[in-house]
Amino acid sequence: MTTTAGSIGMGNTGAGNTGAGITRVGIIGCGTMGAGIAEVCAKAGADVRVVVSSAASADAGRRRIAQSLNQAVARGKLTAEAGERVLGAISFTDALPDLADRQLVVESIPEDEKLKQRVFTALDAALTDPDAILASNTSSLRIATLAERTERPERVVGMHFFNPAQVLPLVEVVPAERTAERVVAAAETFAADVLGKQVIRSADRCGFVVNALLIPFLLAAVRMVEVGHVTPADVDRGMKLGCSHPLGPLELADLIGLDTVASVAEAMHAEFGEPLYTPPQLLRELVTAGRLGRKTGSGFFDYPR
């Protein structure tokens, strides 16, 4: 199955050229993050091919990207013609070997270490370009654990985007011990000069820079609600009005996805053993109930669907 993303109204005008060497990008996964990364890359002029698990996943990913582009058009951030060009630059497949000609592939599947390792082993075998860069959008796992499952660990690097990837300007670039400096530089150049992102480089440690600081803060807010010290609305109002945060911690957790918050916390607790990284029971219960935040319509707060 290989399909293009489809139409939002004006006819495809072509993918263009990034101007920085990388013009063919692969994305593995098209959930919230994968769709956002695919959109960002296509907006920058890259030819984007997305690997999904099924035709249903392709349809969901296509709708997710089209909705985001339509919203940008409605807000005047994008013309209809540009939106059509972006959508037309994205194709979908359920076959990993269809990424064989990609110069950069960004894995963006759920935070399951064993699953990601299997994907990297298969991706390593599928890519025909020896200079291709294998990147992971993991928000918590060590890049070295993925690189060691390939025959080209020097080509593996972390490229951690933030949700929503089409809006937030930051990318954490994370080299593992064996990542070649030229690969790190290429990833940083692509993120900064092609995608227009701001880049920070992080050591290969669980949580990198941002989540190492953010996750304990979010978990502390959950614990305050869990023990009845404050309501979700008031803890968020307190941080917005008292600390000038644009979002409260629980709104932010809902935006990130409570399952993602829990997964990152569990990974960090497993690595560092610190109690502050332990996911609170309330967070676990919400995840078990399928209340994952904005993407499911409810988390600590309810959202229109």
Contacts of 226 (CB under 8 A, 6+ apart): 280, 281, 282
Contacts of 21 (CB under 8 A, 6+ apart): 103, 186, 190
Inter-residue contact 49 to 28 (CB < 8 Å): no
Rounded Cα distance, 16 and 217, in Å:
42
Rounded Cα distance, 176 and 204, in Å:
6
Rounded Cα distance, 265 and 276, in Å:
9
Catalytically annotated residues: 139, 160, 172, 211
Inter-residue contact 173 to 202 (CB < 8 Å): yes
* Burial class of 14 by CB neighbour count within 10 A (0 to 12, 13 to 18, 19+): exposed
For residue 12, CA distances in Å to 2, 138, 281 come to 17, 32, 49
